[in-house]
Amino acid sequence: MSNETKTDGWFPVNLLDNLQEKIARLNRRAARLGLEPLELIVTDEREVMPVGEIQGWDGNTGLPCSHTIFHTCARVQVIGKAPKLHGWFFVARIEHTDNTNLLYSVPNETVPDEYWQAEAWCDHCQTTRRRNDTFVVRNEEGEYKQVGSSCIKDFLGHDIPLGFWRVFRDMADTDWLDKNCYPPTAREFGLEGILNLTAAVIHKFGWRSRQTAELECKEATSDTVSNYYFHPPTKEQNRVQVTDTDKEQAKAAHQWAAALTDEQTTGNNYLTNLRAIAQNGTVTDRSWGIGCSIIIAHKHEVERRLRAKLASQRQATCEWIGEVGQRIEMKVQCLLVKEMESQFGVTTLHKMVDEDGNEMVWFASGTHNNLNTNEWYKVKATVKNHDTFRDVRQTKINRVKVVEELGAV
């Protein structure tokens, strides 16, 4: 019978460091006893696994609900030899319960059937007494012995096989999923529900980043979302309604972040994190804030695209007006009035559009306040030249004279 052991299983990514440390510590002790080390191989395979539930609140209804906790797990392998001490291999742990025994064996080892019924007997001290656990060991000749947990060190000369066994046990199955024996640092929450809630919170209160929140001494949006998620709503007026629009916005933002290309994320830590979170579909307590910001990052991206689209439309549709030197009469809307000072004195810049959306600028020397922003006028003006500004055709005019004030229309 070979005592070579190879086992694989799923292990929480956030806790891989702990496992690596545990195995390194075991290997250092094993080396002093002349035992072969365990080798841990972490593969690229990842899976998000639901592991439990936590009591929380439904931001939509204001009623208690439970949120699913996930762990992102990596597929890992442990390769090594079950350690042999004083001629004995560690085979299994027997958990003695009131009704029956539960057997947890090292991978590739089988436990003789009689141990399913065995009393908490110890072959070392030759007693039966109340014990929660006993251990089964085997020698090269296939002889089995049962030893109490307090005698295992005396019997084997060392308790290190227990450490090896625990690593194998952790790998052998996903027992840890049920037993909740891993610390909350590994817990993750479903991104979808959090994004829905974030969209609703932004809808109602606007977005406040952590930096802004600190400056204004107010609550950051991600903290508001967290409060809705974990704590009962205190005031009726502070509740949010997650609408279908919020859900659509959340879905679009999630899809956008998950589909970010390498070209977009290279050299940008923030977008790289955003994509990783979106693709994983969960956030941890630490990445909660970045997760929530997916909504606002997407909103900014949509606005940027819209501006670019409008700019390119204006490039295509804006035409020059009249002929250079021509005096024309037209209806215009004033979009901007801005005083500028230079070495030649004060100039007032006016930006205007006509009824077809064609752009005009008028640099009037001195201070002018006879055109108001957003209002329409019938004016007479002279075409000074045909120019372009940011690739958009723009007509420069001067000697502008208001014929009629038409109001905001």
Residues near 80 by beta carbon (within 8 Å), at least 6 away in sequence: 5, 36, 37, 38, 39, 164
Interface residue list for Zn ion (CB under 5 A)? 122, 124-125, 148, 151
Minimum CB distance to Zn ion smaller for 108 or for 149? 149
Give the pair of three-digit tokens for residue 101: 């025994």
Q: Output the smallest distance, CB 151 to Zn ion, in A.
A: 3
Q: Output the smallest distance, CB 121 to Zn ion, in A.
A: 9
Ramachandran region of residue 369, left (φ > 0), alpha (ψ -120 to 50) or beta?
A: alpha
Q: Output the smallest distance, CB 95 to Zn ion, in A.
A: 17
Q: Output the smallest distance, CB 133 to Zn ion, in A.
A: 12
Q: Output the smallest distance, CB 122 to Zn ion, in A.
A: 3
What is the distance in angstroms between the CA of the first residue and the CA of the last residue of the chain?
A: 94
Three-state DSSP class for residue 86 = coil
Q: Which helix (H) or strand (E) holds 362?
A: strand 359-365
Minimum CB distance to Zn ion smaller for 165 or for 176? 165
Minimum CB distance to Zn ion smaller for 120 or for 360? 120
Neighbours of 169 (CB within 10 A): 20
Give the pair of three-digit tokens for residue 15: 């806790």
Minimum CB distance to Zn ion smaller for 135 or for 176? 135
Minimum CB distance to Zn ion smaller for 30 or for 122? 122
Amino acid in the structure at residue 258: A
Minimum CB distance to Zn ion smaller for 148 or for 163? 148
Question: How far is Cα 162 from Cα 182, in angstroms, rounded to an integer?
Answer: 19
Minimum CB distance to Zn ion smaller for 122 or for 283? 122
Give the pair of three-digit tokens for residue 75: 């597929």
φ, ψ of residue 380 to 5 degrees: the values are -110, 135
Q: Output the smallest distance, CB 125 to Zn ion, in A.
A: 3
Q: Output the smallest distance, CB 77 to Zn ion, in A.
A: 35
Contact 347, 338 (CB under 8 A): no
Question: How far is Cα 172 from Cα 362, in angstroms, rounded to an integer?
Answer: 79
Ramachandran region of residue 354, left (φ > 0), alpha (ψ -120 to 50) or beta?
A: beta
